[in-house]
Amino acid sequence: MGYGVSLGKYQVGKTIGEGTFAKVKVASNTETGESVAVKILDKKMVLENKLMQQVKREISAMKLLNHPNIVRIYEVIATKSKIYIVMEYVSGGQLSDKMSYPSIVSEKEARKYFQQLIDAVDCCHSRGIYHRDLKPENLLIDSMGNLKVSDFGLSVLRKPGDMLSTACGSPSYVAPEVIFHNKYDGAAADIWSCGVILFELLSGFLPFEDKNTSNLYKKISGAEFICPEWFSASQRKLISRLLEPKPRRRAKVAEILEDGWFRIDYEPAAAITNEEKANLEDVYRTFDRIGTLKTEETRKIQSPSFINAFQLIAMSNHLDLSGLFEEQKTKLGSRHSMTETIEKIEVAAKDASLSVERTNSSKVKLHAPQKLTRSISQIIVSAEVIEVTPTHCMIEISRSSSTGEIRSYKEFCRSLSSILK
């Protein structure tokens, strides 16, 4: 395989995939000889669509997902015009390639793929991550015949708030509540997609098909599908639980793991022990550099009014916070409502002998006592609380560069970190 363009320690070769915003090339690590995949994003398009923060945090979260059935991201590199995401290279192609020849996919093989898919989805959901675009094209097969989930929102980049865009790209795999409601449970929606994939694996065709999109959505909303005559009773029972149109009655991952047909020859994903801590320095360094570009595009970018579970995990869980307090900015995750989180900020401020000024419902400013300053009370800390879910928030804390008072800042951060645990 020939390689041409050099990208740091990587020699980049031929294109193996292409989408609206991204192109994927195979590359070789010149230090190890390992093959990797490099996803290339056009920086201008990302900036114009105000997707920089979302891409940054989703990449960060993927680096934290260490599971044998999920494609790993190794590092991120940026040039003047491109963003390069270096990830695990999966050589066996897409699951959809195998499904083009249904006679090749035996029941045993279909079950193994489904078991590995559920293991990967279970890992994601346990961390509050919902894929929202599970389909055979986003499921890769490695050289050992094992399934790996890929493309967590990067193949088709979405603007903040475009929660339902999946329905436009892959309508046959989308749960009814995603089509017809503004809000939906991401976990239940993923399980529906898994059900469609299992049906297709076992039958060789989709459970819901119609050239007319309106008719297709009617079939999906009513779960109007017919199992082939060769489906066993146990297969029919499981699929009916997965393709349940009411999300609250749909099978949960824990129930799938106990299903009799599912458990045949089931080998759970090997537990990852002594997991290496994900190094996110390259992600933050790369995107912070991009954020300082003095271009019209970057000046137009605004922080999204919400963050998703990807962003919360990237900012809190599994991160080494040992060097947290040497930074001018700190980000903490809170498993409390916005009101409760604000109250905990006020408690931490009191511990640090700082007074609190609420600027609005989500932002506060902390002032140093006047006896510590020569003039009026200085702003030591600014804190903004961003709601992820009703019971999960992310706190962005920054220290004013106009003051040299860092002791109170450190004390506040330590106190709040302890209170939030």
Flag whether pLDDT at 408 surpasses 70.
yes
Mean pLDDT of 15-44: 88
Q: Where are the domains of the chain?
A: 5-90, 95-263, 321-420
Is residue 288 annotated as part of the catalytic site, yes or no? no
Highest mean pLDDT among 51-65, 135-149, 272-286, 337-351: 135-149
Q: Which CATH superfamily is domain 321-420 in?
A: Kinase associated domain 1, KA1 (3.30.310.80)
Is residue 346 within 8 A of residue 362, CB to CB? The reply is no
pLDDT tens sequence across 341-387 = 888 898 888 888 888 888 777 888 888 765 544 444 466 788 888 76
* Selection from 157, 166, 128 nearest residue 55 by Cα: 157
CA geometry: angle 123, 271, 331, nearest 5 deg: 50
39 annotated ligand binder: yes
pLDDT tens sequence across 254-264 = 999 999 999 99
Residue 328 region by backbone torsions, left for phi larger than 0, else alpha for psi between -120 and 50, else beta: alpha
Q: What is the DSSP letter of 27?
A: E
Q: How many angstroms from the chain centroid is the CA of residue 223? A: 28
User: How many CB atoms lie under 10 A from the CB of residue 335?
Assistant: 15
- Work out whether the CA dihedral 46, 51, 54, 58 comes out positive or negative: negative
Lowest mean pLDDT among 74-78, 134-138, 198-202, 289-293: 289-293
Question: What SS3 class is residue 295?
Answer: coil
Confidence of residue 321 (pLDDT cuts 50, 70, 90): very low
Domain 95-263 has CATH 1.10.510.10: yes
pLDDT tens sequence across 158-209 = 343 333 333 333 789 999 998 876 678 889 999 999 999 999 999 999 999 9
Catalytic position from the list 119, 133, 151, 190: 133
Is residue 323 within 8 A of residue 112, CB to CB? The reply is no
* Selection from 80, 85, 86, 84 nearest residue 297 by Cα: 80
What local confidence, expressed as pLDDT, does residue 356 receive? 86
Structural class in CATH, domain 5-90: alpha beta
Lowest mean pLDDT among 280-284, 304-308, 377-381: 304-308
What local confidence, expressed as pLDDT, does residue 68 receive? 93
Print the SS3 string covering 335-369.
CCCHHHHHHHHHHHHHHCCCEEEECCCCEEEEECC
pLDDT tens sequence across 220-247 = 999 999 999 999 999 999 999 999 999 9
Specify the pTM. 0.64
Mean per-residue pLDDT over the chain, rounded: 78
Mean pLDDT of 400-419: 74
